[in-house]
Amino acid sequence: MNKINLSPSLEVSRFVAGFWRLKEWKMSSREILNYIEELLETGVTTFDHADIYGQAQCEALFGEALKLKPELRTKIQIVTKCGIIQKFDSNLKKNFQYYDTSYEHIIESVNRSLRNFGTDYIDLLLIHRSDPLMNPEETAKAFKELRDSGKVLNFGVSNFSIADFEMLNHYFDNKLVTNQVEISPYDLEHFENGNISFFQKEKIHPMAWSPLAGGKLIHPDDDASRRIHRKLSEVAEELGIKSIDVLIFAWLLRHPVGILPILGTGKIERIHQALKALEISLSTENWFKIYEAGLGHSVP
């Protein structure tokens, strides 16, 4: 599998394995380790996490598996995120969520993530969401301290607008290396808000979360997903592609910005299925057929 350089010190796999639902997979540490090794055999070496995933337990579950074979640490790239606080509000009887990108919280979160993973460095740290209360100087101060101490090697963001990306980048003396955003034929927000063009201008490879639109494109449940599903089925039949998900990944890979799809599955057969997209060369015409289905209308 081809690798992509996000920075001089960070080479990632073309597909990223997402561990958001790791707790739900009900795997033992040995089973998680086996899955990690199976992923490495496919060429998937980059693993996406966040401090809050699985009620803040997924990082530790992954770390327990790594303890069984610590030599794997040098063969993988760990990505994690911070900046979201989740608390249970007993009055509302639901989780209350807010953002914290302060120096203190970022340092505390990273130190906790290091303990969870059982490692002394994180390859890539992302701020999970754009924070309307962010003090970019304070956030950048935390980044600089973490970088200088060797605890974090690279930094980026997730779900950031162009303006918020540029604001933080202005105060940080290293370049932010990626923005993890939602991209799929169902969600074209970042084509429409200018982010994709911005990524190309800045030579940034975005990571794409929910590339299958949370399963909507496989099992459509609204007018838009049904419309896109019909077009995907037509193009897949024309090209002799048996699975729509493979076509969706090929559509993402076709874009010259170099999108890095995140695969949020715990089943290795689905990973093998997704990687078939690497063998597909999607024509410009077919790419636009799917794009127009997502738009809901023809391009001008």
Active site residues: 53
- CA pseudo-torsion sign 218, 27, 29, 23: positive
Question: Residue 79 is encoded by which pair of tokens?
Answer: 């990505």
Closest alpha carbon to 50 in 18, 76, 25, 74: 18
172 close to 197: Cβ distance less than 8 angstroms: no
Burial grade of 175 (CB within 10 A; 0-12, 13-18, 19 or more) = middle
Alpha carbon distance 194, 155 (integer Å): 22
**Which is it for strands 46-48 and 16-18: parallel, antiparallel or unpaired?**
parallel
Strands (DSSP E) along 49-199, which ranges? 77-82, 84-89, 94-99, 124-127, 155-158, 179-182
What is the DSSP-derived secondary structure letter of residue 122?
Answer: B
Alpha carbon distance 163, 266 (integer Å): 35
User: How far, in Å, are 33, 44, 150, 268 from residue 39 at the CA level?
Assistant: 10, 5, 27, 7
188 close to 291: Cβ distance less than 8 angstroms: yes
**Which is it for strands 3-7 and 155-158: parallel, antiparallel or unpaired?**
unpaired
